């Protein structure tokens, strides 16, 4: 076993800043949606906008980083080993089987993780920010051809549905990230320190 640096300083900064911004957007977003009252509608909307533009800025840097470092390859989906990961989480983990995937610096996510993170990056996140920007700039497009195709109502529903998908992703992500390491907190720790103990003989 040896200590391997899996997450660079930028990745960790991006991950935790994104997490804080997303939780802030969830708290303000559900208030805007009418689920509860915390700051008041106007204030919640102001905070939501500030957090949204900050997150869009962070994502611009993250996309640039992924493209220039080639790290986008970590999210290319693969069917190889996918079924064995599903079977491991559904059965093998209870009977004490070894995890059927050995991560390396070049492939640090198992096939299920790749799919989940790719789904977040190319489906859930874009659905949220595209619908969010459409909501923000509604008065600029409602009298154009786009206004004929869709409505404010429809865009708001897409925004909310995508947020529910994000919440499901978050619950599963936090559970797996916080408890699946060896020891249980190892994955969480690696996203703080950048390092994880890996068996490189495999």
Partner 1 sequence: MPRPDANPWIDQIGWIIVLTTPVGVLVHGLMRLFFAWGKD
Minimum distance of partner 1 from residue 179's CB (angstroms): 6
Q: Minimum Å distance from CB 89 to partner 1? A: 8
Interface characters, 59-78, with partner 1 (x: CB under 8 A):
--------------------
Q: How many C-alpha atoms does 136 have within 13 Å on its Cβ side?
A: 13
Between residues 140 and 199, which has the closer beta carbon with respect to partner 1?
140
Spatial separation of the C-alpha atoms in residues 140 and 47, rounded to whole Å: 22
Q: Which residues contact 134 (CB under 8 A, 6 or more apart)?
A: 141, 155
What is the token pair recorded at 163?
A: 């947020």
* Residue 183 engages partner 1 in binding (rule: CB under 8 A): no
- Under the criterion CB under 8 A, does residue 95 sit at the interface with partner 1? yes
In the complex, the smallest distance separating the C-beta of residue 136 from partner 1, rounded to whole angstroms, is 9
Beta bridge partners of 5: 195
Contact 19, 192 (CB under 8 A): no
Between 155 and 198, whose beta carbon lies closer to partner 1?
155
Supply the minimum distance, in Å, between the C-beta of residue 119 and partner 1.
15
139 binds partner 1 (CB under 8 A): yes
Burial 109-140 (b: 16+ CB within 10 A, else e): bbbbbbbbbbebbeebbebbbebbebeeeeee
- Answer whether 169's CB lies under 8 Å from 122's CB: no
Rounded to a whole number of angstroms, the distance between the first and last alpha carbons of the chain is: 10
Count of residues binding partner 1 (CB under 8 A)?
25
Query: Contact with partner 1 (CB under 8 A): which of 70, 79, 96, 183?
Result: 96
Contact residues for partner 1, defined by CB under 8 A: 33-34, 89, 93-96, 135, 138-139, 152-153, 155-157, 160-161, 163-164, 167-168, 171-172, 175, 179
């Amino acid at each position: 076993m040896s200590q391997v640096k899996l997450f660079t300083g930028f990745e960790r900064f991006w991950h935790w800043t994104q997490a804080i911004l997303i939780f802030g957007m969830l708290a303000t977003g559900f208030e805007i949606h009418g689920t509860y009252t915390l700051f008041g509608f106007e204030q919640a909307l102001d905070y939501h906008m500030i957090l949204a533009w900050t997150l869009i800025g962070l994502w611009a840097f993250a996309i640039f980083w992924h493209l220039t470092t080639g790290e986008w390859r970590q999210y290319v989906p693969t069917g190889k080993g996918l079924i064995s990961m599903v079977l491991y989480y559904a059965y093998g983990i209870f009977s004490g089987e070894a995890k059927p995937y050995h991560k390396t610096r070049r492939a640090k996510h198992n096939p299920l993780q790749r799919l989940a993170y790719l789904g977040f990056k190319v489906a859930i996140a874009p659905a949220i920010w595209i619908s969010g920007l459409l909501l923000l700039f509604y008065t600029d497009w409602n009298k154009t051809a786009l206004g004929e195709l869709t409505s404010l109502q429809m865009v708001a529903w897409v925004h909310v549905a995508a947020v529910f998908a994000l919440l499901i992703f978050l619950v599963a992500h936090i559970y797996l990230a916080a408890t699946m390491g060896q020891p249980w907190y190892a994955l969480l720790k690696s996203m703080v320190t950048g390092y994880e103990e890996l068996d490189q003989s495999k």
